[in-house]
Amino acid sequence: DVKVTQSSRYLVKRTGEKVFLECVQDMDHENMFWYRQDPGLGLRLIYFSYDVKMKEKGDIPEGYSVSREKKERFSLILESASTNQTSMYLCASTPGYGYTFGSGTRLTVV
Amino acid sequence: EDKVVQSPLSLVVHEGDTVTLNCSYEVTNFRSLLWYKQEKKAPTFLFMLTSSGIEKKSGRLSSILDKKELSSILNITATQTGDSAIYLCAVEGGGYQKVTFGIGTKLQVIP
């Protein structure tokens, strides 16, 4: 069965900290995505990657960066966490249709 | 800017009722429309509708794509409490692999 694994379910970080959110998929998919989900705003695309070392900005990339050194792993980095980055973060991958999502990481920045 | 609008935002029904969830979209280069069910954690895939597959059915759930009206509906018949969830509509179009999600419809089924 297809699997997307996010390393943490819940995280609490302090303002200004550097935060790493890890996502690993075991399906050999080329395309991976990071979304954040907020009440009343739905799912918004932060960054996506269509190949190793390739990345594209989504709709809300400000304050974030990403890393894709290996096909199976796509990391989201908050260079200096801020309280407005408190959110649910969802990683997804796709072979071209029908995303598979990870379980999500609920990040709280205090 | 690509846009996906879902209605209603929230719905409460009794078990056994039939519900219809709506999704309308404005995207460039439409490729597919996707429905997801989200319970406590991540969304799970329900259906994909494309120009060549405008109607899908799985058990009590069915979905239709109306390309002329740029919309889709998700029907759930004989609802059960386990159908309580947020239902997300997403449309693939625009740039490379770009998927735009709606806010979702929160469905609550009460016994």
Task: Flag residues of chain B having pLDDT under 50.
Answer: none
- Mean pLDDT to the nearest integer, A44-67: 92
Query: Which pLDDT value is given to residue B97?
Result: 65
Alpha-carbon distance B110 to nearest alpha carbon in chain A (angstroms): 23
Query: Which pLDDT value is given to residue B2?
Result: 82
Query: Which pLDDT value is given to residue A79?
Result: 94
A8 three-state secondary structure = coil
Cβ of B8: how many Cβ atoms within 10 Å? 12
| CB-based contact B98 A41, cutoff 8 Å | no
Pick the residue from chain B with its C-alpha nearest to A106: B41
Query: Among B12, B8, B3, which Cα is nearest to B109's?
Result: B12
Cβ of A40: how many Cβ atoms within 10 Å? 7
* Pairwise CA distance, residues A93 & B15, whole Å: 34
| CB-based contact B34 A101, cutoff 8 Å | no
Query: Which pLDDT value is given to residue A42?
Result: 85
Query: Which residues 38-97 in chain A show a CB within 8 A of chain B?
Result: 40-45, 48, 50, 56, 90, 94, 96-97
Query: Which pLDDT value is given to residue B94?
Result: 67
Interface check B43 vs A, CB under 8 A: yes
Alpha-carbon distance B68 to nearest alpha carbon in chain A (angstroms): 22
| CB-based contact A43 B32, cutoff 8 Å | no
Residue with tokens 């799912």: A43
Query: Which pLDDT value is given to residue A40?
Result: 83
Residue with tokens 């990339």: A61
pLDDT band at A95 (very low <50, low <70, confident <90, very high): confident
The predicted-structure confidence for A9-37, as pLDDT tens digits, reads as follows 899 999 999 999 999 999 888 899 999 99
* Pairwise CA distance, residues A32 & A47, whole Å: 9
Which one-letter amino acid corresponds to residue B80?
A: Q
Residues in chain A: 110
Interface check B71 vs A, CB under 8 A: no
A44 contact residues in B (CB cutoff 8 A): 101
Tell me what the pLDDT averaged over chain A comes to. 92
- Mean pLDDT to the nearest integer, A54-81: 94
| CB-based contact B104 A102, cutoff 8 Å | no
